[in-house]
Amino acid sequence: MGRHRKLASSCHNAAVRKLWTIGVFVVLASLDNAAIMMIPSMVLPIADDLGVSEAALGGLTAAVILLTAFTAAVWGFFGDRTGRKNLLFWGTIIWVGGVFAAANSQTYGGLFVAMMVAAIGFGSITSVGFSVVSDFVPPHRRGLALSFWGLSQGAGGLIGGLAASQLGAGDWRRPMGLLAAVGAGFAVLFLTTRDPARGQSDPELAGRASELEERIELAELPAIIRRRSNTWLISKGLAAQFAYGSLLWVPLLYQTKIAELGYSIETSTRAGGLYFSILQIAAITSIGAGWLGDRWQRRTLSGRARLSTFSILGAVPFFLAFFFVPLKALPLTDGASSSQVTREVMVSFVTNGWVALAFLLAFAAVVLTSADSPNAFALIVDVNLPEHRGTVFGLVTLAEGVSRSMGNGLVGWVTATFITTAAVSKSYAIALAGFQLFFLPTGYCYWRLTRTAPDDIEDVKRTLTQRAAT
């Protein structure tokens, strides 16, 4: 009896520590996305304070995204070769230091260098963190569990944008300093987490993951990239992030719409940031999309890819309509406090038909695209061996970062070509609408994955079964 109680207690402690580790990693994934989203949400006050153009700050955000993507690929490879816990700890320390330095920057050059340092650390959370979390999740729950990973990143961007637009409207350095302090606290919490064995959630290894653990070799990279499903996953990320990267400018789209109604920069920053944050609330439906992907995947090994194909293509018309909805007769008090502006914005969703229409269109678009992240994450795990997953996620992130930074950076350039013939807000709307057309090749890539994923999944299962039999 005593032995049974000791065994039960040990299992309970292991489960608690597993949930604690996942929780810490999920929060960290949200914090680095919050940091990335802060500058786009404070473009107007930062540009005014440092005396730089909005396009220069767009270029800074694009550079952060790009460097994060490059370092994610490097961090991911070394995470598949060595202990991941130490890499994540030092990666967190790096981005915290960079964001703290950014909060104390007095020039554009200082801000740029500080955010480049932060970007190096962001990459560790992106790929190494994904690798760790994926090892805790069994195949039949990957979509659901990894939806929380993806949702944490979206929620981080939402919280970062909201905190930046509200706390940073009068002093843009304040929210960045606060975020650095929170990140430092979670770096300490890394000391209490555990690094799971690679592949411990794969049933084919039959509980022998720790003794059969493999490490990636540099010579394997060409074969990993040539795997058909990986090729389409990388291509999918390259196409989709042109569209997603451009969406970082939606806060500025709404801020300029409000400013054109005669409101001050401070009020426009606060109200525009609030509208953007509330319009993203539908992202929580990614949990349902991950669950649905799991169910469909149990019926057919092409299930996740089929769901994502339909969802991505269906979102395009809703995004296009959303950008061009005008804002009229807003019930805002210029120069009001953040709390008053918040109340007035919330009221406008039920009293202003234009705001309500924008919300419904954005809600539909975000619900449909919410199927993308959890099912793409799950597919990366499904079609790759345990010791390759962090590297492949890093390669996908690299492709996404290149296109996301280009999508983000080019919006400002494309907008500038229309400003001479249209209002600033309409120019942003035209640019954003054009970039959403990149969702069309994204849908094609997912369609190709419906053909390649089943064979690659079966190949992974065979390999792991053979390892367990040795």
Tens digits of residue pLDDT in 449-467: 999 999 999 999 999 888 8
Give the Cα separation of 125 and 68 in Å (integer). 10
pLDDT of residue 8: 47
Greatest mean pLDDT among 46-50, 95-99, 330-334: 95-99
- Per-residue pLDDT band for 362 (boundaries 50, 70, 90) equals confident
CB burial of 127-151 (b: ≥16 within 10 Å; e: otherwise) equals bbbbbbbbbbbebeebbbbbbbbbb
pLDDT of residue 210: 63
Reported as a single tens digit per residue, the pLDDT across 217-247 is: 889 999 999 999 999 999 999 999 888 878 8
pLDDT of residue 155: 75
pLDDT of residue 127: 83
- Per-residue pLDDT band for 412 (boundaries 50, 70, 90) equals low
Report the chain's C-alpha Rg in angstroms.
22
Mind listing the domains of the chain with CATH numbers? 37-190+240-469 (1.20.1250.20)
Give the Cα separation of 244 and 353 in Å (integer). 27
Residue ranges of the alpha helices (H) in 370-438? 372-382, 389-418, 424-435
The closest alpha carbon to 261, from 333, 324, 342, belongs to 333
Q: For a pLDDT cut of 90, what percent of the chain falls above it?
A: 28
- Phi first, then psi: give them for residue 172, nearest 5 degrees: -70, -15
* Lowest mean pLDDT, pick from 59-73, 246-260, 375-389: 246-260
Q: Give this prediction's pTM.
A: 0.82
- Judge contact between 450 and 379, C-beta under 8 A: no
Q: What mean pLDDT comes out for the span 208-224?
A: 81
CB-side neighbour CA atoms (13 Å) of 205: 20
CA angle 112, 118, 119 (to 5 degrees): 90
Reported as a single tens digit per residue, the pLDDT across 291-347 is: 999 999 999 999 999 999 999 999 999 999 988 988 888 888 887 787 888 888 888
pLDDT of 10 strictly over 80? no
* Of 13 and 236, the one with more pLDDT: 236
- Judge contact between 126 and 75, C-beta under 8 A: yes
Burial of 399 per CB tally in 10 Å (0-12, 13-18, 19+): buried
When the pLDDT of each residue in the chain is averaged and rounded to a whole number, the result is 84
pLDDT of residue 384: 94
Segment (H or E) for 282: none
Residue type, 443: G
CA dist 232 → 192, 222, 314 (Å):
37, 15, 20
pLDDT of residue 85: 80
CB-side neighbour CA atoms (13 Å) of 233: 32
Place of tokens 């592949």: 199
- Per-residue pLDDT band for 368 (boundaries 50, 70, 90) equals very high
Helices then strands, counting H and E runs in the chain, come out as 19, 0
- For residue 401, give both structure tokens: 């970062």
Place of tokens 């719409």: 257
Contacts of 338 (CB under 8 A, 6+ apart): 166, 167, 169, 270
pLDDT of residue 421: 53
Give the Cα separation of 45 and 160 in Å (integer). 16
